[in-house]
Amino acid sequence: MNSSKTGADTSVDTYMDYLFEVLGLDIREEWRADVKRYFMLSAGMAKVLEAHPLEMTEALAPVFHP
């Protein structure tokens, strides 16, 4: 499926290979760097959000109805 499966550089590459396999995604080799960049950006955003946990007393935002 992905030609780099045997040459994963980091744990992120290994995880991406696993996800591509499980989800049945055929990611071209020339796309991998951009996919990895976005994956790392998303992981960074998740760390920021996880650093500020919500208390169970927080009210949920109302649902927007146009």
Q: What is the DSSP string of the chain?
A: --GGGGG--SHHHHHHHHHHHHHT----GGGHHHHHHHHHHHHHHHHHHHTSPPPTTPPPPPPP--
What's the rounded mean pLDDT across residues 13-41? 94
Q: For residue 3, what are its two tokens?
A: 């030609």
Query: Does residue 17 surpass a pLDDT of 70?
Result: yes
Given the structure tokens 């976005």, which residue do they identify?
38
CA distance linking residue 28 with residue 22, whole number of Å: 16
Does residue 28 have a pLDDT over 80? yes
Tokens of 24: 């049945």
